[in-house]
Amino acid sequence: MKRKAFVMAALSLALVAANVSTVQADALVGQPAPSFTAADTNGKSHALTDFKGKYVVLEWTNYDCPFVVKQYSTQAMQEMQKMAAGKGVVWLSVNSSAAGKQGNYPAEKWNTLVKEKGAAPKAILLDGDGKIGQLYGAKTTPHMYIINPEGKLIYNGAIDDKPTTDAATKPQTNYVAAALTEAMAGKPVTVATTRPYGCSVKY
Amino acid sequence: MFWFAVGFAVLTVPVAAIPVRSAHTEAELISEVRSVQPGRPFWVALRLKMDPEWHTYWLNPGDSGTATTLQWQQPAGIQAGPLRWPYPQRIAAPPLASYGYEGTVYLLSEIQAPADLKPGAKLALRAKAEWLECKVECLPGAGTVALELPVQAEATAPSVHADAIAAARGRLPVTIADWKLRAAVQEGQLILRATRPEWFAGEIGPVTFFPEQDLLIEPAAPQVLEVRPDGFLLKLKRSAVSTATPERIAGVLVAPAGWRGAGSEQALSVRVALEPVAAVLSAGAPDLAGLLVAVGFAFLGGMILNLMPCVLPVLSIKVLGFVQEARTGHAWRYGLAFTAGVLASFWLLAGGLLLLRAGGEQLGWGFQLQSPPFLVILCAVLFLFGLNLFGIFEVGTSLTRLGGAGPAGGLGGSFFSGVLATTVATPCTAPFMGSALGYALTQPVWAALLVFTALGLGMASPYLLLSLSPALLRFVPKPGAWMETFKQAMGFLLMGTVVWLGWVLGLQAGVSALAALLAALVVLGAAAWALGKWGHMAAPAPTRLTARVLAALGIVGALGVALVGVEQQSAASSGPTQATATPSEGIRWEAFSPQRVAALRAAGTPVFIDFTAAWCLSCQVNERVAFSSPQVREAFARGGFVMLKADWTKRDAAIAQALAQFGRSGVPLYVLYGPTAGAPPRILPEVLTPDIIVKALQELS
């Protein structure tokens, strides 16, 4: 009797345990941003902790994705990068395309492309094994994150409110610019989480 | 087809649409009818034919992608209905997933033809379509699609596309009111519950939910179906970054087996408001097997409860009572009275819990100990009871029957000790009890009451058994002078319980509240002393009356003042309690929060969660026995565990929710998450030893 009860108890515990949802790796707004270290296209290593005390923008990118193409062909992304740099914000573009997949280039090619586009990130981080992407739960290109000087994530989501590849469609709100402006003015970020749009990250 | 061709020739304008092509998709506007009748609605569709392996997106594209858009550019007077989306398929690209279409899709729209159309004229429809086509890489597609249809006075005839459009319409989500749909959000989960209509005899096969809302669920996460006799539960992982809980859930439930039976509609429209978790889970009849297991566990748990530290002080009193009554030959009556007392208190407890649950409160086992006024009253009762055992006063027959009066008063006394035993038992959760109670609280009222009844019967069963079979009474010691000594000694045990409850009160409401309680106890003690000295039967009647009135005034006054004082104090101190962190020194406890657990799990950090409360005596014992052991501390440190303490001494909805997630309604609960991401947590037993913990940690690593 007792043995049977024990078996049942164990079974029910196992059932309870199986029902409990597991937590996926994702960066949550309001929580400390997951830390990482990655090499850039010049072979230089960057750790998130290097930038403590500064705002950091993470931009998931893939220069062949039409949504990214739109952001760069309209100069919207470059302008944001330059504006951010002017305010002392560290802008890191991250590429998580796996080897052989779209958007994965050798380092020299990246440097050429950056020059061609007139892009101005602090660095392009190469994340070919997708580790940082999965750590942050990056889903699309572009997918944007903002980390505040205390190392907390304050924005996670889309770049703007117009999920289109059509260069003629101007966004009404650029969420990243809005969040940075608010945060730097000492205000809470009004829109802190949105659904990112774009091409899937090519893990 | 023939007519079509003739119309073409006569009108010398293209009646059929001109397809637009992007790199991998052909887009065309098509109509269900060959001609338009003034004032009559008709269906058109944007047909997208994708190359093999390419897909376009649904209205909610999932993890990536963009929904197709259609912008009408037509003359005034023609009304086009909104784009209607056939249900999508899940397109997996681990670790991501999108919602979209492969092959050919028909995005539908109903057009209302104006009543003043002239027969013989043409109706021109134009729209700009934009889509995103993806295989692995993505390309945008766009084009202006157009369609011209002749206007005829007669009824319209179906076009060559009629069948395909009708089939696409069959994939639109439908509302079937007989299917009762409910939804709730539980920490990290969205739970959809469907109750089948009586007429539904089909199979509940695989079911997939496609949300229309952004950031509602994780598209790539598995959807867990739990079939129940009256329908099913679908458990979905909430979006990992979702910040707000929506009020309503909108989406489509897709079952290939059909919602009316084989071959019927496959897409059921979901438009429901969120409800409390307990309400959604408790809907419908419980399954019999689960109920039987819970009842069995509750009975066992109730029996074991007698051995928990909470009940022990009262246990000894009960033994005394039995010794006393055993010789009268009517022991069974006292056994029954005791059982009735236990059951009545369990029903009262269950009733309170269920009532408050219906009001949406997050409660659990032992909830009444989270209330400072309840603690004050419990302390007062136990204190007076203890004074009674010391012999400071005798109430004769009104409290418990220990002194040895007639059997009539004894029955009431037995009932009362049943009540008392239950009351002091609530700070404990015995093994087997946790899961039974957790289950009970998600069930309909009658099932919950059944489980609580089993718990009470289990707790009373040893005494009932003893009282029903006189043969067993041989093992009970004979009455004698030793009983007086034993009685007095038990009084100290009760005083100890009062001290402990006072400590709990102090944690909840602060030191001033504790002082108020102690002052009240002094007054109570004086009242009891006066009662004992002048209120006994041997005193002259006027003296006796005065003493009794004074004692009653003292008791009522002291309790009243203490309750008011405590109420004010507890309102002032609303912060979390800290003291449960003290017993296990050497372990660095952090405060529990679901977000902290999520963050640690995300980083692959092993986590131990201690769900505890100051009023939970089992928890306190466990902490002193298990967590203070150096080998346990060392094992946790070696495993790199982050130690989280969920202190439930005061009411806390987040902790109550977390407990419910593990199917529990009370503390203690010990949860171990190992370093493997995604692995289910391990739950440790309610009674801990250093060995159990160390072994569990070894097995994890």
Superfamily for the A31-200 domain: Glutaredoxin (3.40.30.10)
Report pLDDT for B357: 65
Q: Band of the pLDDT at B698, cuts 50, 70, 90?
A: confident
Q: How far apart are CA B120 and CA A150, in angstroms?
A: 72
Q: Which of A24, A32, A64 sits opposite B137 (nearest CB)?
A: A64
Interface probe for A, chosen from B63, B68, B131, B138 (most Cβ of A below 10 Å), is: B138
Per-residue pLDDT of B199-210, as tens digits, reads 887 777 788 999
Which tokens sit at B130?
A: 């934009």
Report chain B residues whose CB lies below 8 A from the CB of A8: 293, 296-297
Judged by a CB distance cut-off of 8 A, whether residue B137 touches chain A is yes
Q: Which of A28, A32, A101 sits opposite B241 (nearest CB)?
A: A28
Lowest mean pLDDT among B28-32, B377-381, B401-405, B589-593: B401-405
Q: Band of the pLDDT at B316, cuts 50, 70, 90?
A: low
Query: Which H helix or E strand runs over B642?
Result: strand B642-647
Mean predicted confidence (pLDDT) in B158-181: 92
Q: How far apart are CA B255 and CA B192, in angstroms?
A: 14
Residue of B574, B575, B636, B572 whose CA lies nearest to B610: B636
A34 and B96: CB-CB below 8 Å? no
Identity of the residue numbered B57: Y
What CA–CA distances, in Å, run from B614 to B191, B396, B422, B649? Answer: 33, 35, 18, 5
Return the exposure string of B422-460: e unless at least 16 CB atoms fall within 10 Å of the residue's CB, then b: bbbbbbbbbbbbbbbbbbbbbbeeebbbbbbbbbbbbbb
B136 and A164: CB-CB below 8 Å? no
Q: Which of B96, B139, B681 sits opposite A200 (nearest CB)?
A: B96
Residue of A144, A195, A155, A143 whose CA lies nearest to B215: A195
B397: DSSP letter: T
The yes-or-no verdict on residue A21 having pLDDT over 70 is: no
Q: Band of the pLDDT at A14, cuts 50, 70, 90?
A: very low
Between the ranges B85-89, B218-222, B458-462, where is the mean pLDDT highest?
B85-89
Lowest mean pLDDT among A133-147, B102-116, B314-328, B428-442: B314-328
Mean predicted confidence (pLDDT) in B231-255: 86
Q: What is the mean pLDDT of chain B?
A: 81
Q: Band of the pLDDT at B14, cuts 50, 70, 90?
A: very low
Any idea where the domains of chain A sit in the sequence? 31-200
Which tokens sit at B155?
A: 């009824």
Mean predicted confidence (pLDDT) in B167-177: 91
Report chain A residues whose CB lies below 8 A from the CB of B139: 66
Q: Band of the pLDDT at B2, cuts 50, 70, 90?
A: very low
B288: DSSP letter: H
Q: Which of B64, B662, B679 sits opposite A139 (nearest CB)?
A: B64
Q: Band of the pLDDT at B26, cuts 50, 70, 90?
A: very high
Report pLDDT for B318: 65
Mean predicted confidence (pLDDT) in B128-135: 93
Per-residue pLDDT of B84-96, as tens digits, reads 999 999 998 888 8
Q: Band of the pLDDT at B677, cuts 50, 70, 90?
A: low
The yes-or-no verdict on residue B272 having pLDDT over 80 is: yes
The yes-or-no verdict on residue B496 having pLDDT over 50 is: yes
Query: Which H helix or E strand runs over B700?
Result: helix B690-700
The yes-or-no verdict on residue B52 having pLDDT over 90 is: yes
Per-residue pLDDT of A128-182, as tens digits, reads 999 999 999 999 999 999 999 999 999 999 999 999 888 888 899 999 999 999 9
Residue of B108, B109, B111 whose CA lies nearest to B151: B111
Q: How far apart are CA B18 and CA B16, in angstroms?
A: 7
Percentage with pLDDT > 90 across chain A: 79
Q: Which residues face B89 on adjacent strands?
A: B100
Which tokens sit at B415?
A: 């009932």
Report pLDDT for A139: 94
Query: Which H helix or E strand runs over B252?
Result: strand B248-254
Query: In Å, how far is B178's CA from the nearest CA of chain A?
Result: 28
Query: In Å, how far is B348's CA from the nearest CA of chain A?
Result: 27
Mean predicted confidence (pLDDT) in B570-574: 57
Q: Which residue has the higher pLDDT, B43 or B399?
A: B43
Residue of B33, B3, B5, B28 whose CA lies nearest to B18: B28
CB A69 within 8 A of CB A34: no
CB B210 within 8 A of CB B58: yes
Q: Find the residue in A nearest to B295 (Cα).
A: A5
Report pLDDT for A75: 94
Report chain B residues whose CB lies below 8 A from the CB of A102: 136-137
Q: How far apart are CA B380 and CA A159, in angstroms?
A: 63
Residue of B371, B425, B342 whose CA lies nearest to B618: B425
A66 and B140: CB-CB below 8 Å? yes
Name residues whose C-beta falls within 8 Å of residue B156's C-beta, 6 or more positions apart in sequence. Answer: B33, B34, B35, B36, B37, B40, B42
Report pLDDT for A69: 94
Interface probe for A, chosen from B57, B59, B64 (most Cβ of A below 10 Å), is: B64
CB B27 within 8 A of CB B19: yes
Indicate if the alpha-carbon torsion angle B591, B277, B353, B317 is positive or negative: negative
Report chain A residues whose CB lies below 8 A from the CB of B672: none
CB B566 within 8 A of CB B516: yes
Interface of B with A in 9-48 (CB under 8 A): none
Mean predicted confidence (pLDDT) in B331-351: 86
Between the ranges A37-41, B111-115, B222-226, where is the mean pLDDT highest?
A37-41
Judged by a CB distance cut-off of 8 A, whether residue B273 touches chain A is no
Report pLDDT for A1: 32
Lowest mean pLDDT among B8-17, B64-73, B244-253: B8-17
Q: How far apart are CA B261 and CA B49, in angstroms?
A: 30
Query: In Å, how far is A32's CA from the nearest CA of chain B?
Result: 8
Percentage with pLDDT > 90 across chain B: 25
* Alpha helices in B327-444, H assignment, sequence order: 331-358, 372-390, 407-425, 433-440
Indicate if the alpha-carbon torsion angle B682, B685, B688, B691 is positive or negative: negative
Instruction: Name residue, tokens 């009629």.
Output: B162
Report pLDDT for B328: 65
B140 and A165: CB-CB below 8 Å? yes
B678 and A22: CB-CB below 8 Å? yes
Which tokens sit at A152?
A: 């907390």
Per-residue pLDDT of B414-426, as tens digits, reads 788 788 788 777 7
Lowest mean pLDDT among B148-152, B280-284, B633-637: B280-284
Judged by a CB distance cut-off of 8 A, whether residue B214 touches chain A is yes
A23 and B601: CB-CB below 8 Å? yes
Report pLDDT for B323: 64
Q: Find the residue in B nearest to A64 (Cα).
A: B137
A19 and B235: CB-CB below 8 Å? yes
Q: Band of the pLDDT at A50, cuts 50, 70, 90?
A: very high
Q: Which of B95, B595, B680 sits opposite A203 (nearest CB)?
A: B95
Residue A6 three-state SS: helix
Report pLDDT for B16: 56
Per-residue pLDDT of B429-441, as tens digits, reads 666 777 777 777 6
Residue of B284, B301, B78, B292 whose CA lies nearest to B198: B284
Report pLDDT for B282: 66
Q: Which of B95, B98, B680 sits opposite A20 (nearest CB)?
A: B680
Query: In Å, how far is B681's CA from the nearest CA of chain A?
Result: 6
Interface probe for A, chosen from B69, B241, B605, B700 (most Cβ of A below 10 Å), is: B241
Query: In Å, how far is B394's CA from the nearest CA of chain A?
Result: 44
Judged by a CB distance cut-off of 8 A, whether residue B692 touches chain A is no
Report pLDDT for B508: 81
Percentage with pLDDT > 70 across chain B: 84
Mean predicted confidence (pLDDT) in B379-385: 86
Report chain B residues whose CB lies below 8 A from the CB of A179: none
A24 and B237: CB-CB below 8 Å? yes
The yes-or-no verdict on residue B398 having pLDDT over 60 is: no
Helix, strand and coil in chain A, % to nearest 5: 35, 20, 45
Q: How far apart are CA A175 and CA A142, in angstroms?
A: 12
B683 and A13: CB-CB below 8 Å? yes
Q: Find the residue in B nearest to A13 (Cα).
A: B683
Q: How far apart are CA B657 and CA B450, in angstroms?
A: 23
Report chain A residues whose CB lies below 8 A from the CB of B298: none
